[in-house]
Amino acid sequence: MGLWGLVVPALGLAAAWLLGLGFEPSSWLLPFFSRRGRLLSPAELARYTGAQGSPGLYLAVLGQVFDVRRGHTHYGPGAAYGVFAGKDASRAFATGDFTNTGLVDDVSGLSPSEMLTIQNWLSFYSENYICVGKLVGRFYDENGAPTKALEQAKAVIEEVLKFKGQNDEKKQFPPCNSEWSSTSGSRFWCSKQSGGVSRDWTGVPRKLYKPGSSDSHCVCVRTTGPPSGQLDSTEHSDRGDLDNPNLQDYKGCHPLADWCVLRD
pLDDT at 169: 84
pLDDT at 12: 54
**Cβ-contact 168, 175 below 8 angstroms:** no
Burial environment of residue 138 by CB neighbours within 10 A (0 to 12, 13 to 18, 19 or more): buried
Which residues on neighbouring strands pair with residue 59, listed in sequence order? 66
pLDDT at 16: 52
Burial readout 99-126 (b: 16 or more C-beta within 10 A, e: otherwise): eeeebbbebeebeeebbbbbbebbeebe
pLDDT at 66: 97
pLDDT at 88: 98
pLDDT at 144: 95
DSSP result, 200-223: S---EEEEEEPTT-S-EEEEEE--
CA 61/CA 126 separation, integer angstroms? 10
pTM above 0.75, yes or no: no
pLDDT at 170: 86
The domain 38-168 having CATH identifier 3.10.120.10: the answer here is yes
Mean pLDDT by groups of 10 residues along the chain of 264 residues: 50 52 43 59 97 96 97 94 96 94 96 91 93 97 96 93 82 91 88 90 94 89 91 83 94 94 82
pLDDT at 196: 86
Helices (H) and strands (E) counted in the chain, each on its own, are 8, 10
pLDDT at 161: 86
CA 90/CA 149 separation, integer angstroms? 13
User: Domain locations in the chain?
Assistant: 38-168, 173-262
pLDDT at 160: 87
pLDDT at 231: 72
